[in-house]
Structure 1
Amino acid sequence: MTRHKKGFTLIELLIVVVIIGILAAIAIPKFTNTKAKAYVSAMKADLRNLATAQEQYAADSAGNYKNVTVTANASPVAVGGGMNFTPSPNVGLTTTVDNTSNPKTWTTAATHSAAPGVTCTMTLAGVITGC
């Protein structure tokens, strides 16, 4: 009577483990920047939304823009004061306005509490730089 052993040999199992290790070594570095990219995307989205809110505010305020300072907070609050804008969680915004120049201008810097050292800046022209 012949007995057939079923199962994998040690060599076969080692080869599978090595292949999984190689695939992980390739895939993991591709996902390391995913969070940082998401933080930058949140900052850019808030800058664009704030630009829309600034234009709406200016339309109701004789062309004047609003100074906005929002501290990065996990539970953001609306800007208020005639401006309809609530930033994303953990995004801080600082707007510098010059309502005395002709044309009037503003510049906003956005930061994210989970991405230290990264600042996105947007001007009235709608150009986002720095991130």
Structure 2
Amino acid sequence: MTYHLIGQAAMVVHFLFLAFMAVGGFLAWRRPRLIWAHLAVAAWGVLSVVTGVECPLTVVEDWGRRNAGEQGLPPSGFIDHYIEGVIYPEEHTGLARVAVAALVIISWAGFLRLRARAGSPPPVTRE
């Protein structure tokens, strides 16, 4: 039972991590300190896509499921198992990655614009 819960918790945290990767920059508009966490999450996302490094959450979920006597994740990993072919067709993986990257860039641009506005003096009005 405990191993099953570990596997389930890792899966939920993984989905939350991916959601934060996509929209965390927008959350930083209201909570500016979140930008640092979002930068780290986005950097991990780029690293994992570029190098193919396995996510520790995938390892934990697989370990929990196998120790619970369940079938573990396939060798292709979390994204291939839960997202590709389920949320979007596998042939659109590149498009999905570009869409997430666009969300991140737009959120960062908006964040920088809001920060610049907050740091600038109020406009001078002449009457």
- TM-score normalised to structure 2 length: 0.26
Greater relative contact order (CA < 8 Å, ≥ 6 in sequence): 2
Q: Which protein shows a greater Rg?
A: 1
